[in-house]
Amino acid sequence: MSNAEASLEHLIRVFTKPEHKESTLSQIEQHLSDNLSDFLSRHVVAKQTSLEEIEQDFNDPHLPLQPEFVSTHAETLLSKLVANSVNTYAPTFIGHMTSALPYFHLSLAKLLVGLNQNLVKIETSKAFTPLERQVLGMMHHLVYAQDDAFYTQHLHSAEHSLGAFCSGGTVANITALWVARNAKLAAKQGFKGVSHSGLAAAYRAYDINNLGLICSKRGHYSLGKAVDLLGIGRANILQASVDSHTLNPQEVLALGREYQAQGNDLLAIVGIAGTTETGHIDPLDELADVAEALGCWFHVDAAWGGATLFSDTHKHLLKGIERADSITLDAHKQMYVPMGAGMTLFKDPAISASVRHHAQYILRKGSKDLGSTTLEGSRNGMAMMVYSSLHVLGKSGYQLLIDQSIAKAKLFANMITAHPDFELITEPTLSLLTYRYNPQSIQLALSEGNLDQVAINEHLDILTKGIQKQQREAGKSFVSRTRLGIGKYNNQCLTVFRVVIANPLTTVEHLSDILAEQHHIARTHSDHAVLQALVSTSV
């Protein structure tokens, strides 16, 4: 046997022989299976290392030449990567939309990789294709509640799609607006359609200067990416109701009419069901009326809030969503599925024809290959995670999860309001809220107009940023921060704490501790003394 043959035989073992039960990797797995929370608290270092220090561990651009033992490598992963990752499972991590996940996803992740299906086509996914279509159908039914005949006709039809799975909300929003653009600028007498001839030709054929998209100032940044990518241009995002967190339908109508009168047309109105920063919900039902009046597409970005529909208690907040032409959902948010499970849903199952495409070796005409109408090509079988979650938790389980998140967010808002030194900035419509540290004396002086409001707010911004950073670095808990224009302060842009309540393991005690920690940090922060000095000279 030659050297190369011996090496190859050795290498092939990596494909066929499992790790020893005593190996580091097997032990990591065992620990994950036995007690995920314990694994994370033991291995994720609480005290933060600076990013610059971590970068030192990931600095080498040269490929490793020789193979490394899996166990040696697993040690490296533990000490360099896991140690400096973020404990998103922790109940005190309430700053972003990632949360603890149900345990069974750990096992399913392994099954998913063991099967390693590719959902672009049936030949590499088989039953995963009808499964994904069923999941889309279930979510479609949750929103649109069509009758059984509708689903019998469309669920597995080669010519129809109830939606498209994708890696996340951004691709879902892009997909929805791509479909909307191509449907709007479709082929007609003397024009072969935007897909074929391009956008400049389409504008000429339809005699329009620009296509616009209307959304609130809380629109997700992916909408900007979408109009950039689609050639529509970021300048054609029209922000209505800029003094508010949500769209005012009358203003949208007026803005739309004015824009149309200038020789433009509207691509879409985008309503948001749960803004990323504050959780606000646009008045969807009224916006659907406005979209009808303006003759444009109505898209609802429900990446965060869509799961509210599972709750009979709260689903009324999303009234009108069933009139949307397309909807974005993220199962990796409030559906507690691992990262990478976005969806677009279409009211009209025939509309995806506007982006349908074919190839010779797959996606042949008449095939049910999912790739014919998705933005992505090869994709993994994440739909299984959603399918399993829907079955194991059930609609009633999801309702409980949604209801307890909203209840906890309201409780937390009450705690903030009741605390003399904190100021609630936005109420929790869903389970997001924003607030800031603002000592009672300053709140009082500000409300009486005794202080230079702009200057004080700017200094409070510095303090908020300082508190957030110090709390994050202490490693016990994490809230995020953002900047919001606030009506009460003449739309001055304020830096605020942003909290997302989603983890079912987060208790009221955790929330109370987080507030106490922030209060303590604030009082001992160097910027606090500066603030006090500023207030005394300002009065």
Regarding 348 and contact with a copy of itself (CB under 8 A), the answer is no
- Count of residues that interact with a copy of itself, criterion CB under 8 A: 181
Strand ranges, E, within 477-537: 480-486, 492-500
Residue 211: which H helix or E strand, with range? strand 211-215
Interface with a copy of itself in residues 479-518 (CB under 8 A)? 480-484, 498, 504-505
Interface region with a copy of itself, contact rule CB under 8 A, candidates 47-55, 247-255, 423-431, 517-525: 47-55
Q: How far is CA 414 from CA 118, 164, 480, 488, in A?
A: 48, 40, 19, 19
Angle between helix 440-447 and helix 526-538 axes, rounded to 10 deg: 30
Interface with a copy of itself in residues 146-175 (CB under 8 A)? 148, 151-152, 155-156, 166-171, 174
Half-sphere exposure of 210 (CA within 13 A, CB side): 18
Q: How many CB atoms lie within 10 A of CB 433?
A: 24
Regarding 321 and contact with a copy of itself (CB under 8 A), the answer is no
Interface region with a copy of itself, contact rule CB under 8 A, candidates 344-352, 376-384, 423-431, 446-454: 376-384
Nearest to 342 by CA among 87, 177, 172: 172
Nearest to 226 by CA among 211, 243, 244, 242: 211
Regarding 85 and contact with a copy of itself (CB under 8 A), the answer is yes
Regarding 312 and contact with a copy of itself (CB under 8 A), the answer is no
Regarding 474 and contact with a copy of itself (CB under 8 A), the answer is no
**Chain centre to alpha carbon of residue 129:** 24
Regarding 475 and contact with a copy of itself (CB under 8 A), the answer is no
Out of 298, 478, 501, 527, point to the residue binding a copy of itself (CB under 8 A): 478
Out of 100, 327, 451, 514, point to the residue binding a copy of itself (CB under 8 A): 100
Amino acid at 115: L
Regarding 452 and contact with a copy of itself (CB under 8 A), the answer is no
Interface with a copy of itself in residues 381-400 (CB under 8 A)? 381, 384, 388, 390-397, 400
Regarding 138 and contact with a copy of itself (CB under 8 A), the answer is yes
Residue 350, phi-psi category: left (phi > 0), alpha (psi -120 to 50), beta (remainder): alpha
Regarding 453 and contact with a copy of itself (CB under 8 A), the answer is no
Regarding 314 and contact with a copy of itself (CB under 8 A), the answer is no
Tell the burial category of 261 from Cβ atoms under 10 Å away from its Cβ (0-12, 13-18, 19+): exposed
> Mask: binding to a copy of itself, 403-432, rule CB under 8 A, as x and -?
xx----------------------------
Regarding 519 and contact with a copy of itself (CB under 8 A), the answer is no
As measured in angstroms, the least distance from the Cβ of 437 to a copy of itself is 18
Interface with a copy of itself in residues 183-212 (CB under 8 A)? 192, 194-201, 203, 209-211
According to the 3-state scheme, what is the secondary structure of 411-477? HHHHHHHHCCCEEEEECCCCCEEEEEECCHHHHHHHHCCCCCHHHHHHHHHHHHHHHHHHHHHHCCC
Nearest to 112 by CA among 132, 93, 140: 132
Interface region with a copy of itself, contact rule CB under 8 A, candidates 253-261, 372-380, 417-425, 444-452: 372-380
